[in-house]
């Protein structure tokens, strides 16, 4: 249980008053896996729902080493200068040994974090696929209710299931390194197809010419893909977190995208579909949690798990047995 847990009214009031400390505590609440905390968190999300949804949600991804955190700090500071309030949900890779967050993005965005108009929340990705925290959606809604205009979601890095971030943001920005060449062949087609914009980062110093060449190559590659269902053609730009080049152009690209999607009705349609997808995923999560917490399932797993490990029982057969035990016990419990 969370220490000094507040009441529903205290969490709600603090968030609506734009209290960063209470917002951080509220996100800790929604990230908790304890049943008592989960119930309170669900009530809180429901309470603040009417005050959310007024931001632009931007997912930022790219290969490790592309400079996501440095870019986000520079981009975030530029947005603050434009009068925006910025929330950054930075998802760190989780150590498979300690299950802890291992990069500490907050320490790498010190200047942005020091500004009271910005809010930075690093969260471990845990075992969640897609490079995002299991509770990123809830955290976004809380940040929106707290008055943040732009929500930046930094993901772990491009991987097999990285595109999960696309299912919870409005604009998906892919950061790439200068010097496409052979590297272009290794880009996952799915990531490129889902990108609403591509920014060639670190386009400064000796990298400028390589970045220009990469821009042309990525732009040509994108033209080979079929047009997006929303009618948007992704732009490819170059930028530098050190010099600030391309940051304004990147924001203009996002604004142009938002304006076009709002005019066409796709913006709300996309969010509606995301909410339904969230519903399906959360139902699966709750069922899985209930399944693994059931005592008879736990006992059966403890007694026969080794048989599966040794190849004496088929995983398929044992899985069906576990599910049957779960439903039989569920029916008895609820009869």
Positive or negative, the CA dihedral 182, 187, 189, 195 is negative
Question: Which CATH number is associated with domain 1-51?
Answer: 1.20.5.170
| pLDDT score recorded for residue 334 | 62
Structural contact between residues 101 and 90, judged by C-beta atoms closer than 8 angstroms: no
| pLDDT score recorded for residue 234 | 92
Per-residue pLDDT of the chain (335 residues), as tens digits, is 566 789 999 999 999 999 999 999 999 999 888 888 989 999 999 999 999 999 999 999 887 788 999 999 999 999 999 999 999 998 655 433 334 443 444 456 888 989 999 999 987 655 444 334 568 899 999 999 999 999 999 886 655 446 678 889 999 999 998 875 545 545 556 678 889 999 999 999 999 999 999 899 888 888 888 878 899 999 999 999 999 999 999 999 999 999 999 999 999 999 999 999 999 988 998 899 899 999 999 999 999 999 999 999 999 999 999 999 999 987 766 65
| pLDDT score recorded for residue 4 | 74
| pLDDT score recorded for residue 286 | 87
Structural contact between residues 270 and 194, judged by C-beta atoms closer than 8 angstroms: no
Span 52-264 CATH architecture: 3-Layer(aba) Sandwich (3.40)
| pLDDT score recorded for residue 130 | 38
| pLDDT score recorded for residue 179 | 75
Rounded Cα gap, residues 199 and 112, in angstroms: 21
| pLDDT score recorded for residue 183 | 52
Rounded Cα gap, residues 242 and 160, in angstroms: 30
Structural contact between residues 116 and 19, judged by C-beta atoms closer than 8 angstroms: no
User: Where along the chain do its domains lie?
Assistant: 1-51, 52-264, 294-334
The tokens of 106 are what? 């907050």
Helix (H) or strand (E) segment spanning residue 124 = strand 118-124
């Amino acid at each position: 249980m969370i220490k000094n847990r507040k009441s529903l009214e205290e969490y709600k009031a603090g968030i609506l008053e734009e209290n960063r400390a209470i917002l951080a505590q509220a996100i800790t609440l929604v990230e908790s896996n304890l049943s008592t905390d989960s119930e309170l968190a669900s009530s809180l999300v429901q309470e603040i729902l009417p005050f959310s949804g007024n931001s632009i949600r931007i997912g930022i991804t790219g290969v490790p080493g592309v400079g996501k955190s440095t870019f986000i700090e520079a981009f975030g500071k530029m947005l603050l200068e434009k009068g925006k309030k910025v929330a950054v949900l930075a998802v760190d890779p989780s150590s498979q040994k300690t299950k802890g967050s291992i990069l500490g993005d907050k320490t790498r965005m010190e200047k942005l974090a020091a500004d009271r108009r910005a809010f930075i929340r690093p969260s471990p990705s845990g075992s969640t696929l897609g490079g995002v925290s299991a509770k990123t959606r809830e955290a976004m809604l809380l940040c929106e209710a707290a008055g943040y205009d732009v929500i930046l979601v930094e993901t772990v890095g491009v991987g097999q299931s990285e595109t999960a971030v696309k299912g919870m943001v409005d604009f998906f920005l892919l950061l790439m390194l200068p010097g496409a060449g052979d590297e272009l062949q290794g880009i996952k087609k799915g990531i490129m197809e889902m990108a609403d914009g591509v920014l060639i980062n670190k386009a400064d110093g000796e990298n400028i010419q390589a970045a220009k060449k990469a821009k042309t190559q990525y732009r040509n590659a994108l033209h080979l893909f079929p047009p997006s269902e929303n009618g948007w053609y992704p732009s490819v730009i170059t930028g530098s977190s050190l010099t600030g080049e391309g940051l304004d152009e990147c924001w203009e690209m996002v604004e142009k995208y938002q304006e076009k999607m709002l005019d066409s009705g796709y913006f709300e349609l996309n969010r509606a579909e995301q909410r339904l997808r969230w519903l399906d995923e959360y139902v699966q999560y709750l069922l899985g949690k209930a399944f693994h917490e059931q005592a008879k399932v736990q006992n059966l797993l403890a007694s026969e798990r080794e048989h599966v490990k040794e190849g004496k029982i088929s995983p398929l057969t044992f899985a069906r047995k576990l599910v049957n035990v779960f439903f039989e016990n569920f029916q008895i419990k609820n009869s």
